Amino acid sequence: MAAIEVSSLKKAYGSLQAVNSISFDVKEGEVFSLLGPNGAGKTTTIEILEGLRERDSGEVTVLGLDPWKDGEALHKRIGVIPQGFTFLPYITPREAVNYYASLFDVKVDADEILRKVILEESASSRFMKLSGGQKQKMGLALSLVNEPDLVFLDEPTTGLDPQARRAVWEVIRNLQHEGISVLLTTHYLEEAEELADRVAIMNKGVIITAGTPKEIILEYGSGERIRVHGDSELATYLKKQTGLEVSYSDNSVTVVLRKKEDTLTVLEAIARSGLHWSDVTVRNDSLEDVFVKLVGSRMTEGGQEAPVN
């Protein structure tokens, strides 16, 4: 059974079609990531799945429930960190976990949960004194109080420094090992590539493509390339010798590889050329390269679209 099934989901705010007929599913125990710039419709989608917003049309099933109609039953089985998680300023993580436990009417070991999210050292600090990363970890701790089968993380690392981001990733990986399904939205492509089993790239209310990062890169990427520092003479020589697609710009020659063995052919040809060469690199497209290609823009730190130059 799938943890989440969405088909033809639509939601408009006035004349703005925030989510325009999207379909996807999240398997049990999978980390699934919705990727896209601000305004792509990620948060609207996730809030509909959490039962916080009503959909206009489409079929949505979360853990076998309709999130809007069966919200109460669903909330007992999911964990959520909303975007930009904040909490009561004077409460400590341990108190917050115990507070949630009494609201859910479950018995928990608060310290055990805080250990799980690597926050045990700040268990008694007030929320307002915690760092950005610690606040997010407290949000993660709260989302785990009711032992959820599915966790929604809406941009859990936005605005965190790289070290804090990695710490949050570690916690998310632990969830994955415990078999908890995770729906993660992010605008850090690196984060999705690192954590997600499958991703869906979303822009302007529609899903452009979905699959494992590898599949997407394979389908939309430009393939593996060798880049070598050299002049146009080298480019011409390599094209003639290998018969591969070669391009030249700014003292840099790029050869697109068709299969693994092409690597050796190209390197051999470079060595034989007798021309001046240096700095050989082999690289493949990252999810980010593909994203730029598909969405037509790069994302900034804040998730804003920035035109590619």
Partner 1 sequence: MGAAKRIRADLVNFGRSYTRSRIGLFFGLAFPVILILLFGAIFSGSGSPATVYAQNQDNGPVGLQFLQALNDTGALQVTLVPTSQNFSQYLLSHSSSDGIVVPPSFTASYEAGIPVNVTEYWNPSSSTSQGVFGITSGVLNAFNLQRAHGTSVLGVQRTTIASSSYTYIDFLIPGMIGFAILVSPMFALVNISAQYKRDKIFKQLSLTPLTKTDWLLAKIGFYMIMTIISFLLMSAFGIFAFGAHITFTPWVIPFLLLGPFMFVSLGMLVGTVSTSVESAAVVGNLITFPMMFLSGTFFPVSTMPAYLQNIAHVLPLFYVIQGLNNVMIYGNDTAAVTDIAVLAVLSAVIFILAVRFFKWRED
Residues that bind partner 1 (CB under 8 A): 47, 50-54, 71-72, 75-76, 78, 80, 82, 84-91, 95, 99-100, 102-105, 126, 142
Q: SS3 helix, strand, coil % of the chain, rounded to 5?
A: 35, 30, 35
Q: Which is nearer to partner 1, 30 or 154 (CB)?
A: 154
Closest separation in Å from C-beta 107 to partner 1: 13
Residue 169 carries which side chain, given as an amino acid letter?
W
The SS3 assignment for 293 reads helix
Q: Closer to partner 1 by CB, 105 or 261: give it.
A: 105
- Quick one: 100 or 291, whose CB is closer to partner 1? 100
- State which residue, 76 or 214, has the beta carbon closest to partner 1: 76
The DSSP 8-state label assigned to residue 65 in this structure reads B
Q: Can you list the positions of beta strands (E) in 82-169?
A: 150-154
Q: Following DSSP, what letter does each residue of 185-254 receive, concatenated? A: EES-HHHHHHH-SEEEEEETTEEEEEE-HHHHHHHHS---EEEEE--HHHHHHHHHHH-SEEEEETTEEE
Tokens read off for 243: 């018969």
What is the phi/psi pair of residue 175, to 5°?
-60, -45
- Minimum CB distance to partner 1, residue 234 (Å): 58
Q: Report, in Å, the least distance between residue 82 CB and partner 1.
A: 5
CB of 47 to partner 1, least distance (A): 7
Minimum CB separation of residue 138 from partner 1 in Å reads 11
Nearer to partner 1, 105 or 279 (CB): 105
